[in-house]
């Protein structure tokens, strides 16, 4: 998701853009990053018409690659976008791009854009969809926050309703999230919790949210209008059960979050990170709670030892 991340390629100083030594895959070809470009008439640029996936690499293994590619396929289908590459072809292209950039631990961005078209909205006026793969390194939040916790705020701006934009689509149009992100940055923090129009807890601008109360872990159901997060699903099906927890997916109201013993966020780039304050409300004594610390340790141990690629 769009965040204040540090993105860099191999053997380079972290910077907000790819270094000249990096390579990007576009429409079947690897090329130097400085030569990688899309047309100004691409509807991905003009209208945010497209979809993407963010994928992590741990010790040379690509975490949940097939799951990400299946979600990308679903996003494209829901957008009526038909890229000229199969899942197997995209998997091979991703592995080639990771190897070309010598990424052992890093981040992959897979993008489909609608392609070159007219200045009108009609997506079917566009030519062949564009496919782009970037492989680099990423640092979303300072490592100190994983130990001390991160403060967040509650955004005034609600999450787009499901009836308006299906949250199963990981769309290139992130304005809803970006404008809520601005609220967070203006408040001096890096993340904001978004409610849906019914007032239920949905998700943060770039991460899913979990709460812990009296030893029970809960997270908003996907009916709340949230992204069907890959890391979220992995926590529910794998990490939490490995520690003896069952995660309850249900409707959650903001007062429950503010009264929780612990709150943590999950995301591809964020991994698992604890929240120590929401607005003026302190959580876990202003620290990262024991359950969250255990979840983060279990997650990192698992993906660094043998990250599942399915």
pLDDT at residue 139 in the model: 82
Residue 310 lies in a domain: no
How many domains would you assign to the chain?
2
Domain boundary among 92, 111, 139: 139
Instruction: Say what percent of the chain tops pLDDT 70.
Output: 93
pLDDT band at 127 (very low <50, low <70, confident <90, very high): confident
Q: Domain check: are 237 and 148 in the same one?
A: yes
Average pLDDT over residues 24-37: 94
Domain range spanning residue 47?
Answer: 6-139
For 108-125, the pLDDT digits (tens) are 999 999 999 999 999 999
Residue 11: pLDDT over 50: no
For 138-180, the pLDDT digits (tens) are 888 999 999 999 999 999 999 999 999 999 999 999 999 999 9
Q: Domain check: are 236 and 173 in the same one?
A: yes
Q: Domain check: are 167 and 300 in the same one?
A: yes
Alpha-carbon torsion (267, 203, 174, 3), positive or negative: negative
Task: Evaluate if pTM is beyond 0.85.
Answer: yes
Residue 10: pLDDT over 80: no
- CA–CA separation, 85 vs 72, rounded Å? 12
pLDDT band at 14 (very low <50, low <70, confident <90, very high): very low
Q: Domain check: are 135 and 153 in the same one?
A: no
Residue 217 lies in a domain: yes
pLDDT at residue 138 in the model: 85
pLDDT band at 21 (very low <50, low <70, confident <90, very high): low
Query: Would you say 129 and 112 are in contact if contact means Cβ atoms under 8 Å apart?
Result: yes
Residue 15: pLDDT over 70: no
CATH of the domain at 121: 3.30.470.10
Residue 227 lies in a domain: yes
Q: Domain check: are 234 and 132 in the same one?
A: no
pLDDT at residue 140 in the model: 84
Average pLDDT over residues 32-57: 96
CATH of the domain at 237: 3.20.10.10
Residue 82: pLDDT over 50: yes
For 212-247, the pLDDT digits (tens) are 999 999 999 999 999 999 999 999 999 999 999 999
Average predicted confidence (pLDDT) for the chain:
93
Average pLDDT over residues 273-285: 97
Q: Domain check: are 252 and 154 in the same one?
A: yes
pLDDT band at 12 (very low <50, low <70, confident <90, very high): very low
């Amino acid at each position: 998701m769009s965040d204040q991340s540090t993105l860099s390629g191999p053997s380079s100083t972290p910077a907000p853009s790819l270094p000249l030594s990096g390579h990007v895959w576009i429409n079947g070809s690897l090329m130097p990053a400085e030569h990688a470009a899309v047309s100004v008439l691409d509807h991905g640029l003009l209208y945010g018409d497209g979809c993407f996936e963010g994928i992590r690499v741990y010790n040379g293994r690509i975490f949940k690659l097939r799951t990400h590619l299946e979600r990308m396929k679903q996003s494209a289908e829901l957008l009526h976008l038909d890229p000229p590459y199969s899942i197997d072809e995209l998997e091979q292209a991703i592995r080639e791009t990771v190897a070309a950039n010598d990424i052992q631990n890093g981040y992959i961005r897979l993008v489909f854009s609608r392609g070159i078209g007219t200045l009108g909205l009609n997506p079917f006026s566009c030519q062949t969809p564009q496919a782009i793969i970037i492989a680099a390194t990423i640092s979303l939040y300072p490592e100190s926050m994983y130990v001390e916790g991160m403060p967040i705020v509650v955004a005034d701006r609600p999450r787009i309703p499901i009836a308006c934009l299906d949250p199963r689509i990981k769309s290139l149009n992130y304005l809803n999230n970006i404008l809520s992100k601005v609220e967070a940055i203006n408040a001096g923090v890096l993340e904001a919790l978004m409610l849906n129009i019914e007032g239920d807890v949905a998700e943060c601008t770039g991460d899913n949210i979990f709460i812990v109360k009296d030893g029970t872990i809960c997270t908003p159901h996907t009916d709340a209008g949230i992204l069907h997060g890959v890391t979220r699903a992995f926590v529910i099906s794998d990490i939490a059960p490995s520690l003896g927890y069952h995660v309850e997916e249900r409707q959650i109201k903001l007062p429950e979050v503010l009264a929780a013993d612990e709150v943590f966020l999950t995301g591809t780039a964020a991994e698992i990170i604890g929240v120590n304050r929401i607005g003026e409300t302190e959580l876990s004594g202003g620290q990262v709670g024991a359950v969250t610390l255990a979840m983060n340790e279990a997650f990192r141990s698992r993906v660094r030892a043998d990250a599942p690629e399915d």
